[in-house]
Amino acid sequence: MSNQKPVPGTGGDQYIPYTERTGGESVVYFTRDLSAEGLQKIFGRVSGNLTGKVGVKLHTGEPNGPNIIPRPWVEALMKNDLPDASIVETNTYYEGGRYTTEQHRETLRVNGWTFCPVDIMDEDGTAPLPVKGGKWFTEMQMGKNLLHYNSLFVLTHFKGHTQGGFGGSNKNIGIGCADGRIGKKMIHTTPGSDDMWDIAKEEFMERMTESAKAVVDYFGEHISFVNVLRNMSVSCDCEGTAAAPVVTPNIGILASRDILAIDQASVDLVYALKEADHHDLVERMESRHGLRQLSYMKELRMGNDRYTLVDIDRGDAAITPEDAVKDVIPFGAEK
């Protein structure tokens, strides 16, 4: 058996236009309604496969983080549509407001995530999930309590990310379900390195995506995804109040049962904005080679990068990303 390190793929700084993609198509739903009602309406399109005990994978944010999905939206959704579900999270790899379970519980209190159970999944240790077809891992260490759930609803604030270029559904579960001490270290750090963040660009995207694949494979048909394209700083919610100011316009909410299709559509909607409106976020994606997340999900057969975009505001019409964003208001110009 060879001990040679796998070679990362390339192209994470190159956007692939829709016309150059091949393969099947999935369905992605879209609404412009950035509200609790909009979230509930679009969730209804992808909720039918969520059975048994449901976990809601949400980035609950660092203390007082300004850009996370508004707590009242999530509270209304869970009380009306998921009354028996729990928010699921893991502790962080870096020291901060969510590094230990005790610190994490206090941050949850500060940020208002007190209206339903919150399961810090690595509080009681880790559990391995197999990674099928990966080149970096054969298994990933997850928060042990992930295995207590029959279904997973991945509710993601889509935004930029300092290391990943962008944070969508792939990042939410690829990093967010891996436990804080072992799994996240496997993704971020070369063994023996003094730099805990030394893995970057294509290799980081591939490692994170293999972790996400383990979660997607575990839940099978019982997983659904919603991406909220609002307050899209180039910084992740893990940066809390230190996040860079938002300059990208709010777009809307997407939903799908295909993790690749929803993240690809989210990226496509950003690219469809006017250059002045998307410049900073596109630069963040490309400079970090974040688009490798998409091509590697496709290589791992996690979904389709072609899709039908269904406008639920306008009679379920099939629209293009350009149609979806043509009426967006530049950030800061809202009434």
pLDDT tops 80 at residue 243: no
Q: Give the model's confidence band at 241: pLDDT under 50 very low, under 70 low, under 90 confident, else very high.
A: confident
Q: Which has the closest alpha carbon to 327: 40, 66, 30, 37?
A: 30
Rounded Cα gap, residues 132 and 151, in angstroms: 20
Mean pLDDT for 27-47 is: 98
Question: What pLDDT sits at residue 119?
Answer: 98
Q: Give the model's confidence band at 230: pLDDT under 50 very low, under 70 low, under 90 confident, else very high.
A: very high
* pLDDT tens-digit map of 262-304: 999 999 999 999 999 999 999 999 999 999 999 999 999 999 9
Task: Match 């020291």 to its residue by tokens.
Answer: 95
pLDDT tops 70 at residue 3: no
pTM for the predicted model, two decimal places? 0.96
pLDDT tops 60 at residue 2: no
Radius of gyration from C-alpha coordinates of the chain: 18
- SS3 label, residue 214: helix
In the chain, the percentage of residues whose pLDDT exceeds 90 is: 90
**Domains, the chain, with CATH or none:** 26-325 (3.40.50)
pLDDT tops 50 at residue 1: no
Q: Which residues pair with 319 in a beta bridge?
A: 309
* pLDDT tens-digit map of 42-59: 999 999 999 999 999 999
